[in-house]
Chains A and B, each alone.
Chain A
Amino acid sequence: MTAASERPLTAMIDPAMGPPDCATYERAGGWQAARLALGSLTPAEIIDRVTRSKLRGRGGAGFGTGQKWNFVPKEPASERRKYLIANADEMEPGTFKDRWLLEGNPLQLVEGMILAAYAVQAAHGIVFLRGEYQEACVRLHRAIGEARQQGWLGENILGSGFSFDIHVHSSAGRYICGEETALLTALEGRRATPRSKPPFPQTGGLWGAPSVVNNVETLCNLPHIIVNGPEWFAGLGLGEDGGTKIYGVSGRVAKPGAWELPIGTPLRQIIEDHAGGMRSGYQLRALLPGGASTAFIDTTALDVAMDYGSVEKAGSRLGTGMAIILDDRTCPIGMIRNLEHFFAQESCGWCTPCRDGLPWVERLLDAIEDGTGQDEDMEQLDRHARMLGAPGRTFCAHAPGAMAPLASGLKLFAADFTAHIQQGRCPHHAGAGP
C-alpha cells in the first residue's frame, strides 16, 4: 500500500505467492489505515473522508459510499446492534472481479470491513459469500482467523474500545441474493425475496437492525482512502469519479482478463490494449459494458469513458465494469436468449410481471432463434421490454436489468431479428462458436 500506488487494490496480489498473511500484509503497508482510524479518527471523520474521495459503490448501482453510511443511526456500536455486510455474492454473468480480490488479498477486505464498521459503529460483520467460491471461502476463513488471533478482530480492538468480528455466510447460489434486501432476507433463513423499501437497510435491515451492505471492491478501497487521503483517491480517476476500477473483458478477445485501471479509462483502451483486441478471424460487433444486466452498446460508442456518468450517456450502465463481447460470428439473438434464460430462471417469483413475463420473453426468443418466430412476436418482445423495463413496475430491479440487453438488442439487431423470422432459421446456425 505504497502512497503512490496507481493500482492500490491489486498491488499486493501475487498469484505465485498466494494471499499475504498478516505479517506480509503489514510489511506492505497493511493495517496502517485501521491503526490510524481506531487510534485517532472519529467515525464522522471517516465518513467525511470517504464522501470526499468520491467513492461510489462498485457492485453496480454506483451509490455514493459515504452518503450510504450517512443514513445509519449514529449510536455507538456498544449501544445499538448494527451490521456491516460485505456483498460477496458475485453472480452477475460475465463478472469475476471480486473473486480476484477475495482470493488474492482477503486481509484487505477484512481491514476495509473494520474501517466501514467503525465508521457506522457496527459490531457485527458478515461476508455474504456465494457458495460456488470455495477457494475464496477457505482463504477468507484463514485470513479472518489470523486477524482475530492478532487482535485485529474481536473485543476492544487495539485498546480502542471498539469491538467487531466477522462471520462468513456461505450462500447456496441464487442471483437475486446480490440485491441487498434479498441478501438480508437470505441471512434471516428465508426464501431470498427482496423487501419493500422503506425501511431502508441502513435503518431497518438484518433482523430489523441498521445494516450497511457494501460490495467487496468498494470495501477494499477503504484502507487506501484512509491512508493516502481522499484527494489522492479522487485524483486517481480520469473523470468525475474517484479511484481505480477493476475492469474485465470476456468473449472472443485475444486475452480475456481483469485489470485494475483508473476509473474513467476509455472502453477502447480496455479492449484493445489490455484484452489485446479481438481474436484473429473475429470482429467486434457489440458489447455489454458492465455485466448481463447492462444495455448493449455498439462499436460507435467504443470511446466512451468507463465511468458511471459517461456510460449512462452512451445509453447503458457501468454496472460491474466487466464487459462481455459479442463477435460477428455469434448470433445476437442466441446471446439475448441465453441472457433471458438466466434472468427467467433467477427471478425469485415474488412479483407477477417478473415471474411470468421473463419466461414469456424467453419462449418468444426460443421460437425466433429456432426458426418458428412470427412477426407478432416482435411486438410482444417490444411490449415486454417497455413494460418490464420501466422502473417501478416490478418489486425490484431484476426485471428492468433483464430488459436492458433485450430493449437495446431489439434496436441494434433489428435486421437479425427480421432475418430469423423471414428465413425461418438462425442464419448463424445453431448458436455459438465453431
Chain B
Amino acid sequence: MPIADLSLPAPLRTEILALAAQELHPRGASVAALRLVQARFGWISTAHLREVANLLGMSADDLDGVATYFNLLFRRPVGRHVIMLCDSVSCWIMGREPLCAHLCRKLGIRPGETTADNTITLLPTVCIGHCDHAPAMLVDATLHGDVTTESLDHLIDTLRNTP
C-alpha cells in the first residue's frame, strides 16, 4: 500500500482542521479525524498518524494511544473488503465457530489475516446488535444476519468480483 506513505491530500487536511475547530479542544476530533483517514486509505499509516497528530496539536504517541485503543481503527493495512464475524455470545451459541472455520478454509487465512490477493481481511468483532439474526457479521459497512456456509460462499464469490 505505497499510497499510504504519501502525505494527506489537502482537502482531507482542511476537513480535519474544520472538525478540530468545531471542538472545544482540537483533540476532541481525534477519532473522527482518524476515521476520515481510514475511510480514504483503508487504514492509518504511521506517516498519516503523525500528520493528523500535528493538525490536532497532539504528540504522535498520544494519538497512537487513541488509534490503538479502538477495535474499528486499523493500524495495519487491510484488504479491499473486511469481513467482521461476530464472536460474542449469542452468535457463538448459534454456531459462529463452524462458520469461522469454513471461512478460514475457504480463504486460506486465519482471523486477523488478509488473503494473498488482498481482497478480503477476516476479523472477529464483538456483538454487533443483530443477535435476533445470529450468526451475524459486518461486511464493510453492511450488516448480514442468519449467516450460513452457503450464504458465505455466495458472499465470497461476490466480493472477489467487486472492486
Which residues does A use to contact B, with CB under 8 Å? 90-96, 98-99, 130-135, 167, 169-175, 186-192, 207, 248-252, 256-258, 288, 292, 322, 324-327, 330, 334-335, 338-339, 341-342, 345-346, 430-434
Contact = CB atoms under 8 A, between A and B. Distances in A.
A325 B93 CA distance: 9
- Best-surrounded residue of A91, A334, A339 (most CB of chain B within 10 A): A91
Given A172-B72, A250-B131, A189 B56 contact: yes
B129 A99 contact: yes
A338 B132 contact: no
A266 to B, nearest CB: 20
Interface in B127-158: 127-134, 138, 141, 143
Interface of B: 22-25, 27-32, 34-35, 56, 58, 65-66, 69-73, 84, 87-90, 92-98, 125-134, 138, 141, 143
Contacts of B89: 93-94, 288, 292, 324, 335, 338-339, 342
Given A132-B138, A207-B25, A258-B132, 10 more contacts: A91-B126, A96-B130, A99-B129, A169-B32, A174-B71, A189-B31, A252-B94, A256-B132, A324-B93, A430-B97
9 contacts: A90-B129, A93-B126, A96-B130, A190-B65, A207-B25, A339-B89, A430-B97, A431-B97, A432-B97
Nearest to B69: A191
B129 A189 contact: no
A116 B96 CA distance: 40
B94 A188 contact: no
A132 B132 contact: no
Contacts of A90: 129
A199 B71 CA distance: 29
Nearest to B27: A189
A173 B70 contact: yes
Contacts of A330: 93
B92 to A, nearest CB: 5
Nearest to A433: B95
Contacts of B28: 187-189, 207
B25 A189 contact: yes
Contacts of B23: 189
A431 B129 contact: no
Nearest to A208: B24
A173 B72 contact: yes
Contact of B31 (A91, A172, A249): A172
A93 B29 contact: no
Given A94-B131, A257-B132, A192 B69 contact: yes
Contacts of A173: 70-72, 125-126
Given A172-B72, A335-B93, A430-B97, A132 B128 contact: yes
Given A169-B32, A190-B27, A345-B126, A433 B93 contact: yes
Contacts of A172: 31, 34-35, 70-73
Contacts of A251: 90, 93-94
Per CB-CB distance, the 8 closest pairs between chain A and chain B, nearest first, are A172-B70, A189-B30, A173-B71, A189-B27, A433-B95, A250-B131, A256-B132, A93-B88
B82 to A, nearest CB: 12
Contacts of A431: 92, 97
Contacts of A130: 129
A188 B25 contact: yes
A312 to B, nearest CB: 22
Given A91-B126, A94-B131, A132-B129, A338 B72 contact: no
Nearest to B101: A430
Contacts of B129: 90-91, 95-96, 98-99, 130, 132-133
- Best-surrounded residue of B71, B72, B90, B141 (most CB of chain A within 10 A): B90
Given A173-B70, A174-B70, A94 B88 contact: yes
A96 B131 contact: yes
A51 to B, nearest CB: 30
Contact of B90 (A174, A187, A250): A250
